[in-house]
Each structure stands twice: as C-alpha cells, then as structure tokens.
Amino acid sequence: MPFGFGSAIFAFSAVALGAVPIIIHLLNRRRFKVVPWAAMEFLLSSHKKNYRRIRLEQLILLALRVLAMLLLGLALARPYLEASGLAGTLGMSQRYVVLIVDRSFSMGHTIGGKTAFERATTAAERVLESLKPGDKMSLIAMTDTAEVIIRQPTIEYATAGRSELMRLTLSDAGTNIPAALRTAVELLDAEPTMNREVVLITDCRRGAWQLGEGQARAEMLQITAELNKKARATTIIDVGHEQIDNLAITSLLPDKKLVSVGPPAVLAASVQNFGDTDASAEVTFLLDGFKQSTQQVPVAAGDTATVSLSHVFRDALTHTIEARLAGDNLAADDRRYLAVQIVESLRVLLVDGEPGNLPADSETFFIRTALHPTVEDATTRISFIDPTVIRESELGTANIDESDIVVLANVGGITQSIAARLEAYAADGGSVLIFLGDRLDALIYNDELHRDGQGLLPAKLGDIADSRAQPTSLAPKDFSHRLMATFKGEKAVLLSFGSVYRYFKLSVDKDATVVCPYGTGDAGIVEKPFGNGRVMMFATSADTEWTDLPKTGTFVIMMQDLARHLARDRLLLSNVTVGDTLHRALPPEQAAGGIPITPPGANEPIPVTPVTEAGRLTLNYKDTDKAGVYEVELTPPAGVDRPGRTDSFAVNVDPRESSLRRIGPQELRRALKDFKFSYIRDVPEKAAETNPDASRSSQLWRHLLYAMLAILCMETFLAQAFGRR
C-alpha cells in the first residue's frame, strides 16, 4: 500500500486525541442551565442577532483544536509514504544506497566458526531487504582499492544486487576506507534527486581509517566533508570481533640481497604478536614445498621474534621459501613466501667508450681489473664479480636487464632510445655507474640523461675544470656512506694518492647526495636513487687520462665496495604485495605469444601477452588478488641455444592489515569531528535496523508536528481575535 504507519498503536491514539476537544466542548455546553429572567430578555434579543457569527467562530476553533490533536496522534504513529505512492510520483522519497562491503583479509578473522566477512554478507542482505520498490543501489567491494561491482544505479537490487553479493569472496588484500568513501561520493552524483545514502560494512580496524597526521588525515577530512554534503545518511555497520589477539609472519628475508651458489644463506622470518597477551609461535620452514625445520619461539605481547633457517644453495635457479605458522583465528597472515633467484656471480656490464688498440689502453681496463683481479696464471678465480665488456656501439642492442650493474665509461653516443632503456633498467632495480671523459658531449648528456633533474644523471654537467697545474684529490668530509666508510680514520690518506687533473664541474640535484668532494670543494662522486635502482657518477674518467686514481690500490678497494653497494636487489621485483603488478623484463629472443603464468592454487596456467616498453619486451600481470607463489614459464624460440626456465614471484599480504585493533564510534567522532554517521554494532536482526530513519520511502512525522504547531498558533490568534468582538 502507498501509505502506512511505523506504529499502528499510536495511529489509534490519533482518533482518541481528536475526540478530546469535542468532548470538552460538549461538557461545557451541558454545564449551563437555562433560567427565565425578565431582565435578560432585552440582552437575549441582542444575542440572537449575533448567534450565527459566534456559532461559526466556535466551530472554527473547535475544528482547529481537533485537527491539532489528530496531527499529534498521527505524528506519534510515524506515518510514511511508499515510493509507489504520492512521494514516489513526486520523485522525493526514493532511496539510492551505495553499499560498501569490506573483503580485505582481516575480514577472515574467525570467532565461533564464523568469519567477519560472513557476518558482513549477512548484514548486506539486511540492507538489500530494507529497500523498497523504486529504490536503487550500487555496490563497492572494498580492499586497498575500491572495486565498483555495480556502478550504474539499479532498481534490480533483489536480483543483481544479491547475485553480485553472492559472488564476492574474501581477498588477501588490505583495506583503504578513504578510497572506498571517495568512490562512493563520486557514485552519489548519479542520482542527485533521490535520498542518497552510504552504508559501510567493515570490521572497523583502526589502521584502515588512516587517521594519522599529515596528508592522509587531511584527505580523510575532505572526503567525509563531501560525504556530509551529498549523502542524506551514512551508516557504519561494524561486524568485527572484540577479540584482537593475532600472530603473523610479517617478513621473510635472506641476510643479503644477492644470494649466490655455495656460501650458506640465512633466511630470517619475523613473527609479530599484535595482541595483548604473550604467546608461543611454532614456525615451519619449507623450501620449494619441502619441509626443512620447525621451531618454537615465544613472542611477548606487542613484540616481534625472529626465527631463521640456514641453507646452502647448489644451483643457480629460482627457489621459493615459505615460513608457516601453526594456525590461529586469522589464517591469511600465518604464511609468508620468498622467491630468491640464486646467482653464480655478480654480473657487471662495462660499456667502453674508448676501447683502444691494446687491452691496457681501453677505457674500462682498470675497472675490469679492479672488479675481477686474477693471480699470475690468470686462471684462478678470486672474485665473485663477473665483468663483461662491450663497445659503445653495442649498447643499443645489448640485453642490459641480465646485468646487476651497468657501467658507462666515457660513452659519447647517448641517444634518446638508449637513455630510455637505461632509465627503465634503473627503475626496475638496476644500478648505473657513470664515468665521464673527453669523448662525451655535456650538452647531449644534459639533454638526454639529466633532463632538468628528471633523468638518470644525479647532477648537471658544467665546464671541465683543469687542475694540472695544481692537482686535487678526493677529500671526504663525511664517512657515513658505504663507499667512504672503508677509508675512515687513518685510511683516509689512501684517497689522496690518486691525483685528479681534469674533471667536470657538477650542479648537484636536490635529491642527490655528494658521496665525496674534491679538495677544491667541487663534487667528485655523486649518487641518487632512481625508481627501485640507483645511479652513481664520478666527475672524472675511469682511465688515467684525467686522474691517477685507477692505478692505485685505493681504486681496487673502491670498485669492490661499489659493486656490492650497487648490486641489484633481485628480491624487489620477485617479491611483491597483494595487488601489485608482477613485472619482468624479458630476453629479446623470448618466444612470441602468450607467456604462461600459474597463480597459486590454479590448475591451469594463464597466458599473458608481453608488451614493449622503452624498447624492451616486458611481462606485466595485474591479477594478484591472492597471496602465494606465481610461476612463470619462459621458453626460448626454436633455434635459440638457451634452455627454458621457470621464474617465480612471491606475493604476500600487507602486514599492516594484521593489526586487529578496533576503533569505536566515539573515537571516530573525535577524530573526524564533523563526520555525521550512524553506527550499528554487529549484524542487524531486521532490515529496518540498518537505518531506521531511512528505511521507509518518505517519513512524514516531522511535517505533521510542524503543521500541528502552526495550527495551534492559528487557534490562539483566532481565539484572541474572536474574543475582542
């Protein structure tokens, strides 16, 4: 029916209240007796002349009093108009509800055999049950991103809404409430004429609200301010558990970023206790799926404990390690994975800008010798570093992604495409070491490699300083950098043995660091981060044309330390967080077609087509909603003498989501003072409880009270006016 009452009992009271003025009027009429009195006959004759007017005035006042009492009774009965009635016809009563359901991995917290996510879907069902014919809804699945499941407002909430709700599954991703609310605000603009509401169903984790100081808090305040303007009502349904005890493995790392064949590697797992009570953790290590050891470790409340596994790798392959906790009430963070690419050597690509007629005359001779010294018979290997020399002309086609470090030694032929390849290589975690010299053009370097501070170079090249009349040398003022730490104290004198005769004057970028200046005060060695990698530049040459440093033992020490400092962190791209893109630069001869990727738990691989970026063939895979090991099969094309290989990626949960500490409505209101919201604890038992004030299409009781007050004011005014006559 188009019209109804929130309370039928009070609807009957309206009739009773309306009868009160009539009863009083009738009682007042029966209170007087008619007594004949000759002296009043004259007055009675005058009264009869005004009888009709007085009678009409009394009936008007009686009608107003009756109407006021009826309106009071109706207001107490909380009447409403359904959308199919007059309110729906006028377009003023329909609801548009944006429903946000949290499916982050903390919603997998289980108490009493039921997860918070299961309680959330039940609560979402209650919200859908509260909708009436003509109402509309949209659906957002919330993790650390806001996935809009139903974008276009639909009135098919009974079918489309429930169908999509049933398809939602628990994710291994984190939570980002500000992002979800921002998306909800954008969706509200689709229905500006309806009663717009937002319903957020979550476990109310404190960390998910991002209420810290700075930009995140300012952003949250801005979002809630916009929500207040656009939404008629915002409701938070809290389905989280009060019990917050949780153990989680928050990290799993080797003791060095480059794990090689032969030396033992120590793999350390950190176990954090996010609860308020001390606990004991049982950690099991698995290597390539095979159990290695199980260890027991106590973990105090709020503290972290470390357990480790030592292992010697015998082959240069990619291996996966898993640390596993004995199960607790939140299973998603009880496992952590690590993908490690074992290497035989640290691969350094030396790009020679001036090869020379003899090996000793080449620009890279001293670097190669310092990185890979040999004994007299030249057969015994005494260095883990494996340098490979190519000519400048080969740089455009060389597979630089297989190298841990790329060294440019007096390279003049820098083109835009080569600069783009080097930038992509550094952004993926590679390191670039640059030596200057007389063959390069400072203008080209500044245009292609510096690009006003946006490119690889950590400094802009200026004029060449000629100090042959008075040679200078490296003169560190700060020994905190790894390259300089070796020369701290008495060893600092070793740096003065290498005289410098010519060098480029550098204008150092703001985000760069001067590792070591010259005695003149000019920058001698400069470094800056670039993407996941880093770039280091010497202001002078790598050979002896501009400096004597390469001929000294100091240079050997520096190059050995530099190689370890700049060594590519191969763990960065192989170990990511849920939701991140799996990225891999592929060999140029990689077979065409889709590359098979097998997600965790999948029976069949998924073919992914590589793309070309900055002149490189790259693999990008975005569907990392589940934690675990993702395997990639790399097969060379026919005729290429290279074996196929299997690469692995480890995808882990965000450890910040493991903290189950909650935030209540009072604290939330204190933190977001102007945020207007209703709070419901646990799953509503009835559909109407999701939002009592908005569960009907149009509430009329406020309007009835306003009308009653207006009528009472009118009655008072008329009573005074009639009494003066």
The neighbouring-strand residues paired with 514 are 526
Report which residue type is found at 469. A
**Do residues 296 and 284 lie in contact, with contact meaning Cβ atoms separated by under 8 Å?**
no
E strand intervals along 487-622:
502-508, 513-517, 523-530, 533-538, 575-577, 582-585, 595-598, 606-608, 611-613, 616-621
DSSP string covering 508-542: E-TT-EEEEEBTTSSEEEEEEEETTEEEEEESS-S
pLDDT in tens, 108-131: 999 888 999 999 999 999 999 888
Phi/psi of residue 17, nearest 5 degrees? -65, -35
Q: What residues of the chain score a pLDDT lower than 50?
A: 1, 83-92, 692-697
676 close to 228: Cβ distance less than 8 angstroms: yes
First CA to last CA across the chain, in angstroms?
48
pTM above threshold 0.95: no
- Of 407, 410, 472, 466, which is closest to residue 438 (Cα–Cα)? 410
Q: What is the pLDDT of residue 91?
A: 41
Q: Look up residue 218 and give its amino acid.
A: A
Structure confidence at residue 484 (pLDDT): 93
The C-alpha R_g of the chain, in whole angstroms, comes to: 39
Amino acid at the residue 652: N
Distance of alpha carbon 308 from alpha carbon 104, whole angstroms: 29
Question: What pLDDT was estimated at residue 305?
Answer: 97
Q: Which two tokens stand for residue 196?
A: 């717009």
Beta carbons of 322 and 553 less than 8 angstroms apart: no
- Greatest CA separation for the chain: 154
pLDDT at position 540 is 97
> What pLDDT is stored for residue 547 in this prediction?
96
CA 681 to chain centre: 26
∠ Cα 681 684 687 (to 5°): 145
Question: Are 459 and 526 contacting, i.e. CB atoms less than 8 angstroms apart?
Answer: yes
The reported pLDDT for the residue numbered 612 is: 86
- Residue 687 neighbours by CB under 8 Å, 6+ apart: 126, 127, 129, 130, 695
Per the CB < 8 A criterion, the answer to whether 515 and 527 are in contact is: yes
What is the DSSP code string of 166-187? HH----SS---HHHHHHHHHHH
Q: E strand or H helix at 645, and its extent? A: strand 645-652
At 339 the three-state DSSP class reads strand
* Matching residue, tokens 């700075």: 214
Return d(Cα 188, Cα 606) in angstroms, integer.
37
CB 188 within 8 Å of CB 223:
no
HSE of 617 in the Cβ direction (CA atoms, 13 Å)?
18
